Amino acid sequence: MTTHHPRTSILSTTFIAVLSVLAALSFLTGCGGEGENADPKEVLAASSAKMKTIKGFHFEYEVHLPEGVKPGGGLFIKRIIGDVNAEGEMKATVDANYGNLPVSLGFVALGDVHYIQDPVNQKWQEIAAADSPVGSLNLSAGTIRILDHITDASYKGTQRKAGVDTYHITGKIAAEEVEAIAGAVNTTNTFPTDLWIGVENSLVYEVKIAGSATPNEHKDIWRSIVLSNLDTHVNIEAPQ
């Protein structure tokens, strides 16, 4: 005579149900890196429209050299950290190398006038933007130009950036579109470019641009911009 164990049967059914739920969750988690296939042109167009309306942002701009490679002579800008507002004004700290000497200086850009803080005596010097050591660097305009002019755009899936789900878009940028990011360009090469754009808000969270902008740069150099405090206005005035 067969003895039935209702409790065992119920537990078995419950166990199977739990396993099914866990399997479903595991499947969803495994697919999360790709997400639904997004149209890169639509993502870029939406981001361009959004970035043209924001009040400003905080940024970390960095120039990356291959391991073991040292910058050449003259002024080499390694990193710029600061804020940009909707008017294109910038206030930042510039970390650079002048030959083998590391220097850090204050920097303010107001239209056609730039202000440079002497790293030794801490005094500010007013110079024309055309004579500025950062050249024609304009991260706000440069980011929008990339969104508007990137070619061969391709969707690479989704990634988390700054706690936000972003679309990873790759493509190529013509040399003339990189000048606002690199500060100076003397090449006709195109630049492989990566963008990370918010899934929900269309804001740009990170940009990566690979390739040398001038003949004296290493061929494997690349530049990155990490954006935060997006759509936040910062009042920037001439230093006293």
Reported pTM: 0.81
Is the pLDDT at 13 greater than 50? The verdict is: no
Burial of 109 from C-beta contacts in 10 A (0-12 / 13-18 / 19+)? buried
158-203, pLDDT tens digit by residue?
999 999 999 999 999 998 888 878 777 888 889 999 999 999 999 9
3-class DSSP assignment, residue 176: helix
H helix intervals, the chain: 6-31, 40-51, 139-149, 175-182
Is the pLDDT at 98 greater than 90? The verdict is: no
Strands (E), 99-147: 101-110, 113-117, 124-128
101-117, pLDDT tens digit by residue?
888 999 999 988 999 99
pLDDT value at position 238? 95
CATH 3.10.20.30, domain 40-228, yes or no: no
Query: Average model confidence (pLDDT) for the chain?
Result: 84
More reliable by pLDDT, 6 or 73:
73
Residue 106: partners with Cβ closer than 8 Å, 6 or more residues away? 92, 93, 94, 115, 116, 117, 124, 239
pLDDT value at position 137? 74
50-66, pLDDT tens digit by residue?
999 999 999 999 999 99
Q: What sign results for the dihedral spanned by CA atoms 155, 157, 161, 165?
A: positive
pLDDT value at position 36? 67
HEC string of 19-69 equals HHHHHHHHHHHHHCCCCCCCCHHHHHHHHHHHHCCCCEEEEEEEEECCCCC
pLDDT value at position 20? 41
pLDDT value at position 100? 79
Least confident of 18-32, 114-128, 137-151, 191-205: 18-32
Count other Cβ atoms within 10 Å, centred on residue 162: 14
pLDDT band with cut points at 50, 70 and 90 for residue 240: confident
Inter-residue contact 54 to 86 (CB < 8 Å): yes
Q: How far is CA 62 from the centre of its chain?
A: 10
Is the pLDDT at 23 greater than 50? The verdict is: no
Which tokens sit at 45?
């167009």
CA distance 214 to 212: 6
